[in-house]
Amino acid sequence: MQEFEYVAPTNLEDAIRLMAEKGPRAKALAGGTDVLVQLRGGRFQIDRLVDVKKIPELNELSCSETDGLTLGAAVPCCLVYEDPTIQKLYPGVVDSASLIGGIQIQGRATVGGNLCNAAPSGDTIPALIVQEATAIVAGPNGRRSIPVEDFCAGPGRNVLQEGEILVALHMPPPKPHFGANFLRFIPRNEMDIAIANSAASVLLDDSGQNIVSARIAIGSVAPTPVFARDAGNLLVGKEANEASIEEAAEATKKVATPINDMRGTIDQRIHLVGVLTKRALRTAISRAREG
């Protein structure tokens, strides 16, 4: 592996300064399951690796019905999916966090790192989008919030500026009759990169029969994960039935712009994203009725 300086600041101000000093030649290190592999593979050259795991704010994990979910950028996936409150209130995030890699990876990899890595196939990103997650970012010019659907800029690229660090992800408090689900298709049962993935969330009315609002997001079918905003909006005011689900899934397929590669073809990916969206919507609706 190339030589670099390793630093492990214990507060955010130092971390920002250490990142900003080196500009594009600095990288943040959380779980390391992407960054260390990329460094070893020569994907980028750096002078400094800033380990963010010792910064208290990045280790925050708080979840409540009143304040929502704050998920620090350095919190590993296993702590997310083992938390009973998160399991109950943010099922889409739990679905995706428990699908990343195997147990070894989940003990180390972070949801925040998965977002920053900005892979088109990043499993947590569609799930975060349908849970209305916001990325809280801190940098030399202060703090800003970025909706997760606006965070990825291309394969492996995100909108963070030099010196900026993802501090946490925040998701709003869950509403009654809300449900979400994330699904992906891989040829193996575990441990693979999605050929296509889809997340859906719905908010139902008190009767549990009608859709008040819905969000759909898909991955591995475009240079970045895609928020299928219009497809979700089609469901507003509709009955939560198969016809509505079918219509939304067809609209979702229309925003998929996949490529042919070793994992799958364009046709296969568009087909899969339709199937996965239907299934994710069905599960999201049934979860909304339970909740």
Partner 1 sequence: MADKIHVHSTINGTEVDFLCESRESLLEVLRDTLGMTGTKEGCNDGNCGACTIVLDGRIVDCCCVLGVEAEGKSILTIEGVASPEGLHPLQQAFLEEAALQCGICTPGFIVAAKSLLEREPDADEARIRHWLAGNLCRCTGYDKIIRAVLKAGEMINQGDGGRSSSAAGGVGAADSRDVYND
Residues that bind partner 1 (CB under 8 A): 1-6, 8, 29, 31-33, 36-37, 39-41, 49, 51, 53, 76, 78, 101-105, 107-108, 189-191
What amino acid is encoded at 39 in this protein? Answer: L
Structure tokens at 122: 């990043």
The helix, strand and coil proportions of the chain, stated in percent and rounded to the nearest 5, come to: 35, 25, 35
Query: Smallest distance, Å, CB 53 to partner 1?
Result: 8
What amino acid is encoded at 83 in this protein? Answer: D
Helix/strand/coil for 226: strand
Query: Smallest distance, Å, CB 64 to partner 1?
Result: 25
108/279 with CB nearer partner 1: 108
40/175 with CB nearer partner 1: 40
What is the rounded CA–CA span in Å between residue 250 and residue 140?
A: 44
Q: Identify which of 119, 40, 91, 118 has the alpha carbon closest to the alpha carbon of residue 201.
A: 91
Query: Smallest distance, Å, CB 193 to partner 1?
Result: 11
31/219 with CB nearer partner 1: 31
105/146 with CB nearer partner 1: 105
30/136 with CB nearer partner 1: 30
Q: Identify which of 271, 203, 194, 187 has the alpha carbon closest to the alpha carbon of residue 235.
A: 203
Structure tokens at 51: 């380990």
Query: Smallest distance, Å, CB 280 to partner 1?
Result: 21
> What's the CA dihedral at 138, 144, 148, 154 to 10 degrees?
-70
DSSP string, 84-107: HHHHHH-HHHHHHHTTSS-HHHHT
Query: Smallest distance, Å, CB 203 to partner 1?
Result: 32
6/243 with CB nearer partner 1: 6
Query: Smallest distance, Å, CB 71 to partner 1?
Result: 18
Query: Smallest distance, Å, CB 151 to partner 1?
Result: 23
What is the rounded CA–CA span in Å between residue 128 and residue 136?
A: 13
Tokens 């699904």: give the residue: 183
2/265 with CB nearer partner 1: 2
